[in-house]
Structure 1
């Protein structure tokens, strides 16, 4: 309960700060839509999780709320400089410790995600009636290298802002409208996957 309450408090504080920083005027319709829709998605995840048939509690939607608020913040921060609705954009193009730390975290997260996916993806494919030899490995070499290739391509797209036709400023990572929309769509897909994980057991039981 303590962790869930803290997660929701951080989510609400983050949403309020995003309204203050990135939607200072009523004309900032796009940022207002991004932030408001994030708040709606947080409420939707909580409502579905607390439904009597689901009964998943408030901890997991709170943690997912932290994730989508972070993604929304990162998406708006990726907007290019020069807009009155994003006063923090000029600061994001400067060489600071936040940019360096973000780069290091992105590298580590990419390596951990690709390595864990490539290693563990085929562990469940061994059949019980099959005997494993000493030369067997719990993953496929082709799939392992495919995952690392996609991870490398994803990281490369971060460096060019998901758009080869835009010029990236020095010491900037993942800045541009393409990057913004990629992160926003990523947020929406993450919420859809989470909601499906909640309702899928009920749907399959009723079929």
Structure 2
């Protein structure tokens, strides 16, 4: 035995196992995030399968542990979604607590984050099965907590998107690129406003075809007002934010408004005037698949954006040995993302029956989207005017 050889190295020399090799090999956190994304996608598909398939298995409605609704067969699928979501949440929260302070590559927490996949896959499977052994009362409690967790996810996603838009605007407004990309920025901003106006006009045509559609008219008109407000504040001489950032924010606001109206349940001629399609039509299936992929992509892109949420920007230069992104924040986003996809699949209500190939449908879903839209505008406006307010206060104090 050579002098200075660690216990781990001696053990690996005796036990040439794949698990040990995973711990010895150089970690690759950039590839690891894609594996976690695949696990999250698998959980989404499993939750969807639980919702659309469990309710059709009549024998399961007789299980005492799964009786949670007055009409068990209709709510069995939603209960299954919450159980799969809970397993995914537990897995990523466990990863959060075990990697939250990782700062350097090749330390123990980094290797655990980027390796040991055999153990983690088994752990995820066991944690997915575990909630199905719990009584329905605990699952109902989790469903209520998941509403709050999904709201946290939406807030994190909102801040991440606004931070990216502001970064993009500052990047092209910098001295290095201001003159070089001036025409490109103007074309991009004009295109954004054009798409916003086309989207608003189409929403009027599709979702507010008659004057009695007052709620939809209000939603669409108010989105137009918010677009004008963001543009006016950004172009104010004291702010001087330009047209690019409010144009991009306008795209996000119009998109949220469209999602909100699309989430309204069918019932009158104001809803889905653009034309309803059969329940299992290929367009519904494609829309559903795109929606699931969008959830995974949004969770993934938000999870690696930990720098936008640092309360105090570090002046320390990035070293080669530093981790490329915050592992703890990454797993936390996936944990609350598990709650978010559960709410989308059950329409933010575990007692609300959902049709096959449907996603995020119901009045609760619609109002969540609308509130998210209004909150996004408030956060964006605050980011624009906050520096001016703090500057004035600082001037007055001195």
TM-score normalized by the length of structure 2? 0.46
Question: Is the aligned partner of 1:189 residue 2:375?
Answer: yes
Compared CA separation, residues 139 and 35, structure 1 to 2 (3 A): same
Structure 1 moving runs of 4+ over 3 Å: 87-90, 92-120, 122-129, 136-144
> Aligned to 2:279, which of 94, 118, 135?
94
Tell me how far 1:138 sits from its aligned partner. Answer: 6.0
What is the aligned partner in structure 2 of residue 83 from structure 1?
268
Number of residue-to-residue matches in the alignment: 205
Question: SS in structure 2 opposite 1:91?
Answer: coil
State the distance in 2 between where 1:66 and 1:85 align: 23
Question: Alignment partner of 2:237: what SS?
Answer: coil
Residue matched to 1:156: 342
Worse-matched range after superposition: 85-94 or 50-59 = 85-94
User: For residues 80 and 73 of structure 1, do their structure 2 counterparts lie closer, same or farther at Cα, with a shift above 3 Å needed?
Assistant: same
In the alignment, structure 1 residue 35 sits paired with structure 2 residue 220? yes
The correspondence of residues 130-169 of structure 1 with structure 2, limited to 5 A, is 137=323, 141-169=327-355
My pick for the range that moved more, 120-129 or 154-163, is 120-129
Unaligned runs of 5+ in 1: none
Partner of 1:171 in structure 2?
A: 357
Q: Distance in 1 between matches of 2:220 and 2:320?
A: 54
83-92 or 22-31, larger mean C-alpha shift: 83-92
Query: How big is the shift at 1:32?
Result: 0.7
Normalising by structure 1, report the TM-score: 0.85
The 10-residue stretch of structure 1 (82-91 or 72-81) with the greater mean CA deviation from structure 2: 82-91
CA pair 89-154 structure 1, distance change in 2 beyond 3 A? farther
Could you tell me whether the CA contact under 8 Å between 1:82 and 1:90 is conserved in 2?
no
Determine which structure has the larger helix proportion and give its number.
2
1:59 is aligned, of 240, 244, 249, to 244
Q: 2 CA distance for matches of 1:107 and 1:165?
A: 21
CA distance in structure 2 between the aligned counterparts of 1:19 and 1:151, rounded to whole angstroms: 32
| The one of 174, 183, 203 aligned to 2:389 | 203
